[in-house]
Amino acid sequence: MEFDSLTARISRVVRERRRQTGDTLSQVAARAGLSKTILSRIENGHGNPSIDTLFRLARALELPLSALLVEDEPPRARRIPARSGSELHADSGMTAWLVHARGRGADAEVYELSLAAGIEQRTPGHLPGTEELVFCLRGRLRVGPVGEEVELAGGDAAWFAADGEHRYLALRAARALNWILSPARA
């Protein structure tokens, strides 16, 4: 997806969702921990928000992150070239690419993650009832709820409840696939 079309899509979805819920710009900004100015810029299609900002915004709007990123009606079958999805950068240095999501109210998202050695990505938690499955393709990772992490090497996988604070720590440079499974939303 081209950057301009991604920016336009994020802008459209945020604006539509805010209108659906009847929330003001100030209310959504406060829930997301963003300034009203930053939210206004996103809603007007300006700026380049990080994955951390988009995650906080999606959570404040009670949407999965992929609802901001994917097309409304995906085809019935498609080839997904490596790293062709939306490239997202976290403040920590982690890079993620959206591989697949089920439509607008997605209840399943798949991301490819790339973390250099020593990168730690903390996430405050997804919507209630969300789970994650992380499959380590190569390298070494420690993933899971803070204080309950498990260590993974290439070929290992971990499942965990992801509706609370959790983290990904690259013990060695790592690539992984991350499935985020959310309860269906109305």
DSSP code per residue over 60-81: HTT--GGGGTS-SS--SS----
pTM summary value: 0.69
* CATH fold for the domain made of 87-181: Jelly Rolls (2.60.120)
Contact 64, 101 (CB under 8 A): yes
Give mean pLDDT, residues 114-138. Answer: 94
Give mean pLDDT, residues 29-57. Answer: 87
Candidate CATH numbers 1.20.58.1910, 3.40.50.150, 2.30.40.10, 1.10.260.40; the one for domain 3-68: 1.10.260.40
Give the percent of the chain with pLDDT over 70.
90
Contact 159, 131 (CB under 8 A): yes
pLDDT, one tens digit per residue, over 127-176 is 889 999 999 999 999 999 999 999 999 999 999 999 999 999 999 999 99
- Average pLDDT, rounded, for the chain: 87
Instruction: Say how many C-beta atoms besides its own lie within 10 A of residue 8's C-beta.
Output: 12
Q: How far apart are CA 112 and CA 96, in angstroms?
A: 5
Please report, as a single letter, which amino acid is at residue 51: I
Q: How far apart are CA 28 and CA 14, in angstroms?
A: 10
Q: Could you tell me where in the chain the CATH 2.60.120.10 domains are found?
A: 87-181
**Residue 106, pLDDT above cutoff 60:** no
Q: Could you tell me where in the chain the CATH 1.10.260.40 domains are found?
A: 3-68
pLDDT, one tens digit per residue, over 76-88 is 677 778 888 778 8
pLDDT recorded at residue 1: 44
